[in-house]
Amino acid sequence: DAKTTQPPSMDCAEGRAANLPCNHSTISGNEYVYWYRQIHSQGPQYIIHGLKNNETNEMASLIITEDRKSSTLILPHATLRDTAVYYCIVRSQTGANSKLTFGKGITLSVRP
Amino acid sequence: DTAVSQTPKYLVTQMGNDKSIKCEQNLGHDTMYWYKQDSKKFLKIMFSYNNKELIINETVPNRFSPKSPDKAHLNLHINSLELGDSAVYFCASSQDRSGVNTGELFFGEGSRLTVL
């Protein structure tokens, strides 16, 4: 049972911002939004997570809507190395729903 | 200095054999995991251990037996290998903070198992 919905793929030009959307309309109050990515043939890599406030780190920004039913991961200046599958995951930090369950993700292709 | 290391990286074996994949993390984390990524690229959690104690067992066939000799190691032993076991197996670790699993997992590079 998918808790998140992502488009299957998108592309963007190198140097431009990549905005990756995610819908999670059934998110519970104690569930966080996580983003991971998997570059081809590598292990998944944690990017960022948040509960309700927008978050920013050295890799990306996470914008969560006020009703928390959707979010956007922003890579401010995409490079070719950002080509990967990006996973949006909803999870609580304790209890039965604390497993990190990966869906199909969105394949981001950054073009030169 | 690899944070989560798995060996071997590649493993090719015959059906019916028994094989092991080893995982070690040097991050001082409390929790370790095994994930399986099949040919359709779905990543599924198999097991998680916290301080050597089994926390999650996702209805994996009992041919798969994880073993955690200490909190820095989580090995995966597979008996009587089947064709459907062919996949990439990822080990990961994470740190609890104040009893809360932060969900920030560090993954290894994967071990590609091919069963012929």
| pLDDT tens track for B27-44 | 999 899 999 999 888 899
Contact at CB, A102 and B43, closer than 8 angstroms: yes
Q: How far is A36 from chain B (nearest CA, A)?
A: 9
CA dihedral A104, A18, A35, B4 (to 10 degrees): 90
Contact at CB, B109 and A43, closer than 8 angstroms: yes
Round to whole Å and give the CA distance between B56 and B64.
Answer: 13
Cβ of residue A55 closer than 8 Å to a chain B Cβ? no
Round to whole Å and give the CA distance between A69 and A58.
Answer: 25
> Does the pLDDT value for residue A78 go beyond 80?
yes
pLDDT in tens, B59-78: 789 999 999 999 899 999 99
Contact at CB, A41 and B110, closer than 8 angstroms: yes
| CB-CB contact of B88 with B37 (8 Å) | yes
pLDDT in tens, A5-39: 999 999 999 999 999 999 999 998 889 999 999 99
- Looking at the DSSP bridge assignments, the partners of residue A38 are A85
Q: How far is A66 from chain B (nearest CA, A)?
A: 22
Q: How far is A80 from chain B (nearest CA, A)?
A: 20
Residue B53's pLDDT is 84
